[in-house]
């Protein structure tokens, strides 16, 4: 398939899947329940972190956490008492457990006590001229685990490009927070990161279809693969390459969708 045909296919599928119905079947539905900026950030971060496995289970388990936060995550983070944390004991989602969750709460309490938005934790290491968000992800992991009592096991749930991770869930979270268009799936509530700087969330669906279209040539799937794929997608839209996440992911989960390389 030549470049023009790939572009036409990606544009077609982007427009097909970047619609409100996408929200109903995706973990992005969870932060859409909120209107307060900080609630969207916290609910979105938890939803993104738990986003592996069946989407029904992801939504169910994230909603349980938010129920325990009295459906007001920002207020709970800042004002909870130690006794309120008992309700989180025993939580498990795949390899994410109550130790990880309690540290998330501890970090959020510390961070939001001194900052208005979680965006500041990402942009502290990002310059406006940076070609992409690699330094933001590195800096975010550093500040996230800057508390003295952070559990080492939790680091696998907030990865860094330094260890060659694809950082799929963090890249997806940043897509939610940064991108904004008329469809309304992504929020666009963060203004200090440009859509052009975003990098593709590389899951198995995106990886498979990107390879079929010749957008990935690297054999393994790691951080360099993320950079390769995003660079190739910039050739179709340099200002918003990650919009094609809708196309590649949508083709992967929709059995009626067909693409041939």
The mean pLDDT values, 10 residues at a time, for the chain of 261 residues are: 94 96 93 98 98 94 98 98 98 98 98 98 94 98 97 97 97 98 97 98 95 96 98 98 96 63 33
- Asked if 67 contacts 43 with a C-beta cutoff of 8 angstroms, the reply is no
Domain assignment present for 220: no
Domain assignment present for 226: no
Domain assignment present for 131: yes
pLDDT at residue 259 in the model:
44
Annotate 198-209 with b (16+ C-beta within 10 A) or e (fewer): bbbbbbebbbeb
Domain assignment present for 201: no
| Domain range for 79 | 21-196
pLDDT at residue 256 in the model:
60
Give the contacts of 15 (CB within 8 A, at least 6 positions apart): none
pLDDT at residue 257 in the model:
55
pLDDT at residue 20 in the model:
92
Q: What's the CA gap between 247 and 13, in Å, rounded? A: 5
Domain assignment present for 260: no
Q: Two tokens at 223? A: 């951080």
Domain assignment present for 156: yes
pLDDT at residue 254 in the model:
72
3-state secondary structure of 109: helix
pTM, two decimals, is 0.95
The total number of structural domains in the chain stands at 1
Domain assignment present for 120: yes
Q: Tell me the per-residue pLDDT of 158-188, one tens digit each, with 9 for 90 and over.
A: 999 999 999 999 999 999 999 999 999 999 9
> 24, 51, 38, 21: which is closest to 167 by C-alpha?
51
Domain assignment present for 1: no
Q: Two tokens at 6? A: 């790939």
Give the contacts of 169 (CB within 8 A, at least 6 positions apart): 48, 49, 51, 52, 201
């Amino acid at each position: 398939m030549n470049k023009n045909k790939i572009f036409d296919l990606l544009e077609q599928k982007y427009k097909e899947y970047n619609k409100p119905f996408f929200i109903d079947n995706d973990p992005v539905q969870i932060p859409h329940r909120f209107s307060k900026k900080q609630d969207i950030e916290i609910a979105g971060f938890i939803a993104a972190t738990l986003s592996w496995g069946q989407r029904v289970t992801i939504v169910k388990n994230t909603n349980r956490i938010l129920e325990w936060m009295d459906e007001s995550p920002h207020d709970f983070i800042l004002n909870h008492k130690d006794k309120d944390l008992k309700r989180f004991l025993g939580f498990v989602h795949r390899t994410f457990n109550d130790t990880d969750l309690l540290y998330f709460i501890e970090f959020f309490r510390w961070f939001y006590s001194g900052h208005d938005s979680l965006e500041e934790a990402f942009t502290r290491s990002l310059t406006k001229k940076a070609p992409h968000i690699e330094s933001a992800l590195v800096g975010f992991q550093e500040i996230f685990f800057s508390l003295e009592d952070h559990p080492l096991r939790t680091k696998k749930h907030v990865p860094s490009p330094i260890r060659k991770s694809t950082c799929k869930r963090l890249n997806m979270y940043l897509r939610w927070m940064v991108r904004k268009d008329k469809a309304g799936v992504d929020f666009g509530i963060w203004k200090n990161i440009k859509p052009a700087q975003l990098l593709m969330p590389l899951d198995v669906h995106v990886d498979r279809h990107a390879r079929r279209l010749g957008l990935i040539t690297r054999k393994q799937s790691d951080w360099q693969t993320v950079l390769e794929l995003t660079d190739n997608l910039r050739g179709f839209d340099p200002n918003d390459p990650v919009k094609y996440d809708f196309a590649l992911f949508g083709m992967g989960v929709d059995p009626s969708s067909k693409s041939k390389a």
